[in-house]
A and B are shown apart, each in its own frame.
Chain A
Amino acid sequence: AQSVTQPDIHITVSEGASLELRCNYSYGATPYLFWYVQSPGQGLQLLLKYFSGDTLVQGIKGFEAEFKRSQSSFNLRKPSVHWSDAAEYFCAVGALNTGTASKLTFGTGTRLQVTL
């Protein structure tokens, strides 16, 4: 069964500082990996995804993530955090398949707080 671990429940960074949110996954086949962001009381917005190709993927809002198969990781990074980035971030893994919809398994989330 697939699973996702986000080791950090809560992270606080200063505005302008760099950010890295950790994500480790467990999946028997080639994973399909996502990062979503959720503002309070809102749904989820896709930041970026990886399913093949370049292991460093670029997303929206200046975020990027790197897939490292050897470490089963897909960490999210941003070189300079803005106060508006404060939110809950979820890593998710899904099955890489063809033609059929697949379910996603989410990590428990990391709450990012940004101090001015």
Chain B
Amino acid sequence: GAVVSQHPSWVICKSGTSVKIECRSLDFQATTMFWYRQFPKQSLMLMATSNEGSKATYEQGVEKDKFLINHASLTLSTLTVTSAHPEDSSFYICSARPGQGNSPLHFGNGTRLTVT
């Protein structure tokens, strides 16, 4: 149980284009999802907290206009990287928590984005 599905697994795009990454909770509802970014051989850095039906909360230093987050339903959050540049190339991972309180986060398998 508590499966988080992320799509696509990898994507290559040209500079200046936009890319959308989907994060779905398959067997539970998630009012909150988290988006992380991971550079090669580094830890996960929280980018933003996605809230169903309301605006996302971005961490300091993350450009909200560049990384658009939409959490339109209780099972789907999307991250759109707008006007992508090579420096946006990274591994993006979403996570969600079934239920409330202190249940652990479950992570998607990540999306490898390469911007050429």
Contact = CB atoms under 8 A, between A and B. Distances in A.
A103 B97 CA distance: 11
A63 interface: no
Taking residues whose C-beta sits less than 8 angstroms from the other chain, chain B's interface range is: 20 to 34
A108 B100 contact: no
Contacts of B93: 43-44
Interface of A: 32, 34, 36, 41-46, 49, 51, 90, 96-109, 111
Interface of B: 4, 6, 31-32, 34, 41-46, 49, 91, 93, 95, 97, 100-102, 104-110, 112
16 contacts: A34-B105, A41-B91, A41-B112, A43-B4, A43-B109, A44-B93, A44-B107, A45-B107, A46-B105, A90-B43, A98-B101, A99-B101, A101-B34, A103-B49, A104-B105, A106-B43
**What are the nearest 10 A-B pairs in CB distance?**
A101-B32, A43-B109, A43-B107, A44-B107, A108-B43, A106-B43, A106-B44, A43-B110, A43-B108, A49-B104
